[in-house]
Structure 1
Amino acid sequence: MKKTILVFALLIFALLLLFQFSKYAVISGDLNSEFAIAIIAIVFFFIGVYINKKSLRKQTNTTLEINHKKISDLEISKREYEVLLGISEGLSNKEIGERLFISESTIKTHVSNLLSKLNAKRRTQALQIAKDLNII
């Protein structure tokens, strides 16, 4: 955390120096204003690319191993697990049913069974519990 704060502080300081330099250069007549704007735009572009790469790298490191033992301990069937994965993708009961080739009422039954096995009252709560247990 301290490293991030230090990097951003140095970045802000460098940008302030760049702005002051470009302001001085434009006022003294040594630099055309369009050229100063282009330099600042290029600097901001490279800063954006750097921050984007840093943020994407952190997202790939957060993948966890699925706990198959916990799935069997909770007695979640293969079909119920497929329904849970559909819920985690944000699909509706109808969309999950179309994907798994089963009726919507069967999906509702599986969702009800999942809620009871995960001790959840809502689908969102079931997803949070499943993520905490590393089963999705």
Structure 2
Amino acid sequence: MKKTILVFSLLILALLLLFQFSKYTLISGNMEMDYVMAVIAIVFLGIGLFVNKKIQKQDTTSNNQIDLQKIEELGLSKCEYEVLKEVALGLSNQEIADKLFVSESTIKTHVSNLLVKLNAKRRTQAIQISKALNLI
């Protein structure tokens, strides 16, 4: 995270320098600065393409295998796991209940059990934990 913040801070600094060069070029009428700005713009394009390629490579190489053994270790029932998948989609308790043809109180019970078993305080934290454990 710190590395990402540092990289983007440096990119912002370089962008500010680019704006200062363009202002200097406008005032002085020096055309050589236009070439410097073009080189900086090409460098920014290269960095953008590199970052985009790296991000897309991470998305494709991420492990999409669901860890069934971890599900068993946590003691998640089939119904609780189904509710977890629906919670990860961002559905409310009522929407999950309608989709799974059960009452809303049943969904609340399953969500409560999920929070305990995943040692989470909120639904969003449960989703983060389950993604980290390759449950969803």
Counterpart position of 2:134: 134
C-alpha distance after superposition, 1:61-113 (max 9, x if no partner)? 11332111111111100010000001111111111111111111110010011
C-alpha deviations, 1:27-67, integer Å up to 9, x for none? xxxxxxxxxxxxxxxx9xx9988876664343121133211
Amino acid at match of 2:109: T
Question: Match of 2:72?
Answer: 72
Cα 1:49–1:129 change in 2 (3 A) is: closer
**Aligned amino acid, residue 101 of structure 1:** F
**Residue in structure 2 matched with residue 89 of structure 1 by the alignment:** 89
* Residue 49 to residue 125, structure 1, CA distance change in 2 (3 Å): closer
Q: Supply the distance in 2 between the matched residues of 1:65 and 1:49 (Cα, whole angstroms).
A: 28
- Structure 1: gaps (5+ residues): 1-42
Task: Give the partner amino acid of 1:76.
Answer: L
- Whole-angstrom CA distance in 2 between matches of 1:67 and 1:117: 16
Identify if the C-alpha distance between structure 1 residues 102 and 73 changes in structure 2 by more than 3 Å, giving closer, same or farther. Answer: same
Question: Given residue 65 of structure 1, which amino acid in structure 2 is its aligned partner?
Answer: Q
Equivalent position of 1:99 in the other structure: 99
In the alignment, residue 130 of structure 2 is paired with which amino acid? Answer: A
Larger of the two Rg values belongs to structure: 1
* More displaced 10-residue stretch of structure 1: 63-72 or 101-110: 63-72
- Dislocated runs of 4+, deviation >2 Å: 46-58
- Map of 1:25 onto structure 2: none
For normalisation by structure 2, the TM-score amounts to 0.60
RMSD (Å), alpha carbons: 4.5
Aligned sequence identity (%): 59
Aligned partners of 2:91 and 2:51: how far apart in 1? 32
Partner of 2:37: none
Encode CA deviations 1:1-52: one digit per residue, 9 max, x unaligned. Answer: xxxxxxxxxxxxxxxxxxxxxxxxxxxxxxxxxxxxxxxxxx9xx9988876
2: CA distance, partners of 1:97 / 1:66: 24
